[in-house]
Structures are given as structure tokens and as C-alpha cells.
Structure 1
Amino acid sequence: MARTVQFHEYGGPDVLRVVDAPVPNPGPGQVRVAVRAAGVNPIDSKILQGFMQEVMPLTLPAGLGSDLAGIVEQVGTGVESFQVGDEVLGSSLTPAISEYALADSANLVMKPAEVSWEVAGSVAGAGGTAWSVLNRLRVRRGETLLVHAAAGGVGTFAVQLAVARGARVIGTASERNFDYLESIGAEPVSYGDGLLERVRGMAPHGVDAVLDASGRGEIPLSIELAGGPERVLTLVAFDAADTGIQVFAGGTGDERGPALREIVPLIEKGTLIVPIWRAFPLEETAAALHISNAGHLRGKIVVLP
């Protein structure tokens, strides 16, 4: 049996329970991972509260988490890229906040020895989303990217990946996060009234692309700064689809492997930093979700089964 976190009804973090569940067996192309770290993402709370039922229907009881790092314990038929004992990171097929999880071998990469378990377990979701977004926005060397909520989870990855690709990044944030944004390569600007003028002061001719991870109503000014909606993308303002911008809701499983193969070497070299705010034991997953829901964290939350 495996200790795992489950919920039998939709609700807040307090409905979570640690239970014993059967250890999953890998099918063709899959591996079973003994989980050492599982990242907590905002979508976990949305799933828990039932907000994702239409796009992610679940049979209760269900579990949470998709970002993981751990040790390969068993491989399914057809798996040639990994063997028992390999240290890996990536995304899972079954809930990652558990002692054991299944993963598609295509969505895993080897964990470098220099990368901690906590960092390794925090990469796939936010990192994979940022990688997919930059590709959809076609961000290239020499261009200027504006990132709203640049100090957040996806923003942190997007800033650093764009800088690594040779782009200039302007990032909106509260002033308390300015030093942090500068440390990861962004030029910070405070959000709120007057944002359009402040960005114009930094980029008089506008920007080439905009990533909105904020949802605070910045879409109109983003379209103006980018010279049109084609290279404006939001992760949160789903009601702005009729403006012609790109709306991205995730679902990039087939892109996760390529994303990790670009991101992990940057982490290994120290070019990309993944800050960890706090790690929690499995028994305190509810507390981890409570803190994640409060937001305004500068770093990832991780559960250590």
C-alpha cells in the first residue's frame, strides 16, 4: 500500500486526508516513481474545489498533484530511456502527492545530481507552461516581452527562459518584488494606475509580446502596447477571448518532455533559478494548500512524501 493524499468530496484543503491506497503498476511506456518531492500549483486548489469538473472530470475519491521528482522503481514494457534506480523529474499521470505515482516516460527527464529534490519537484507545471507560452508568443532574441505578474510561479520561469533566449523582459510586480525581478533578469515596473505610461517610458515604441499571468484588467493596455492582439496571451483572463488575444489554459502534456529538456540544463548551470518558499511533509498537505491559496509567495511550495 502507498500513503497518498485524497479527497472524498469537493471543498477546501480541510477535506484532504492521508490514506493508504494500492501501489499503481506501470503500463506500456510508463514508469512507477517513488516520489521524493511533489510541487503544489494553483490548479490543485481549483481541482479540489471542483472548479475544473467540466474539463477534468474526476471519480471521487481522487488525489492531487502532477509535478514530481523521485526514483524510478519499476518500468513498463517498451520503456528504454529509464531503468530502476534512476533519479527523475517531470509530470505524473496519477496524483503526485503520494508515496508512489505513475508517469509517462516521455514526460520525464533525468534529475541532475546538483539539483535538490525540492527544486526538481517544482519544475514541470509552471516551467512547462512558461515554455509553451513563449513558443506560442514566438519570443525571439532581441525582442521585448512584457510579463504581468512576473514574480509569480509561471512568471518566474517565463522571465528567465525569455532572457536565456536573448529577449528583453519588462515585468510588472509590487515594489517589494523589484529586487527579485532584477535578480532574475527582468526590468521591473509597478502595476496599477498609470501602467501604460510607465511601460511607454521604458519601451517608447511598445513591446513585441505580452504574457498576462495577472488577470487584473491589463488586456486593453497590453493590446495597445503590442500593437494588436495577435501576440498577447493570457493564462487567467478567459473572458477576454473575444478581444482576439490568445487564451491558454494549459494541457501541454505532449510538450512537457521538450520543455524539460530545455529548462533542466539551465537549472543545472545556475542560469535559471527556482526559488523554494517552503516544503511540507505529506501529512501537512492541507496546510500547504492553505498557504498556496493565500498567494503572494516568492517561491514554490513542495510536499515531501
Structure 2
Amino acid sequence: MHYSTLRVLCLLPLLALVSLSAKAEFNITWQNQADYIGLRTLDGAANHSHPKTVAVETLARMLSQVQVKDSPYNPSQSLLGDESENLQRVFTDREIELLATKINQALVQANTNESVVFSVSDFRPSYIGRQRLSVSGTAYIKGDRFNLLLGEMHVDMQLKKLRSGVTGTYGKVVSKAEILRDGLNTGNLQKTTAHDWQLMTFAGAQAVNGRTDWLSIDLNRTYEYAIVRNEKKRIDDKYLTEQQQEVSNEALEARIKKLEQLEQEQQPAPQASGIEARLRKLQALYDSGALPEAVYLEKVRAIMSEL
């Protein structure tokens, strides 16, 4: 047997062991088709403050504050701010709900050299109707700071993979091997990957090493949940701070009173009784998404108690 052939045969068990070790470095903790959240050992990751418990509400409020400038996706809705700079919130409410819950669970399982990696997607309004876009990145805790490094921003993953000859990104089970081979980039801790967008700093959050794809966020601060302006569907009130809930309830009360007053002025002789009109108005507000279910039910009970 030729020496080179013998050498290759001797190396095969070692190569197999290396391959198994590489696969063991990536542990998926949650997956839905091409979307996933997992734990992975990355180059440059060491001495993280894991395992760590961070409240889901804290994670949700921090993630809601993360905005991006010059994203490839240009929505008609944006956060209050300078729209000329094309600022928008990175994650939708549904993505925040998912990430906050699953990152909370993953951080408890993580060890000191592991990071949480993710790729999540949601439908966003666009000129063609709705467009499913993905965001990918890495998260970990270092001391008293939550680090968020994003890899790819608002990507039409289906279109991207079709262009490269990969089909079936959504609508089928995606294996770990496919995620490693075809998945979105989750960021590089050692160097910046090419991108045109820029993460924006905010009170409590600072850019890491001057990079535009990486934020370090203070866990000791209290953050409010950033609400997208003109959003048709309200977020779950459980992520609002107590002060936000009080302001929200007061604003809703004032809006209801104003609408009732306008209705009385415009319809001096209503055909239905006052109680029926009030119930219809509450129903309309609830159906439009302007009134949370809890407030709606409370108002209905109050009106019915007058009978």
C-alpha cells in the first residue's frame, strides 16, 4: 500500500472526530423551519458571564429599543424620530416576544465560552403586500452588560437562497447541517462583516469597538418598551412598564371620552340607547386594535353593571 494512501486512512478517524466535535459546538435550543435559536462556541468567545438569568421583560424592553439606520427594508412605519435618517426598529413585536423568551432560556443553559446565536423572521408591510424578512445575530452576557451582535439585517431569505440555487427555506424542516451551510451569517466577534446598515446607540447602550453591528447594553438600567408609531395591532401590555401602562390607560380613557363626545355632537338624536351606543363604540375600538382586550372587557363590565 502506498504511503500516502496509508496516511489518509490513518487520518480518517481523526477527521471524523473533528467533524463530530464541530457539530457538538452548535446546539439548537429552538427551531421553526429556517428560524432557530441555539448555543454555539464561537472564535473570540471566552469568559462570558454564563449561565445567567435575565428576566424576559428586561430582554424584551432592551430589544425593543434597538434601532437601525439605512436598513435594506424601508417601511412606511418607523419609531418616533428623524425619519430623514431612515431609522426603524430592528425587531417586530413577534420577534421580540420570541427572542426574549428563548434567549432567556438559552442563557440559563449556556457555559462561559458559548454564545446565543439566532435567525428569526416575521412578515413586514411592503409595497407588494407583506414581505417575510429575517434578522440574524449573536447575544451573550459579559459582566453586567448584554451584548447584541447582528449579522444580517432584514433579509428576504427565500429570495436570497433562490438566487443561490437553494429552495425550500420555509415550509419544510431544515436540518442543522443546512443551517450551518445555508443559514444567515450571525456576526463575527473578531472582525466586522461588510454591511450598509448601522445600529444606533441609545441611553444605556454603546457601540463595541466603534463597530456599527454590535451593541453593549447596560443590564442595570430600566428601559421602557419602544412602541412603533401607527402600529395597527397593539403589543401585549405585559412588556410595558407600570408608568407606560398608566399613560396608555389614561390616553385610552381620554380617547374614549372624546369619541363619545363627538358622537353625541354629531348624533343629537341617536336611534339606539346610550348604553347600546357605548357598547358599539367599545366594540369598534377593540376591533380596530386601539383598545386592549383587558381594557375592553373591563369597560363592558362597567357598562353592563349600569343595567
Same fold per TM (> 0.5)?
no
**Which structure is larger by alpha-carbon Rg, 1 or 2?**
2
Q: Which structure: greater helix fraction?
A: 2
Output the TM-score relative to the length of structure 2. 0.24
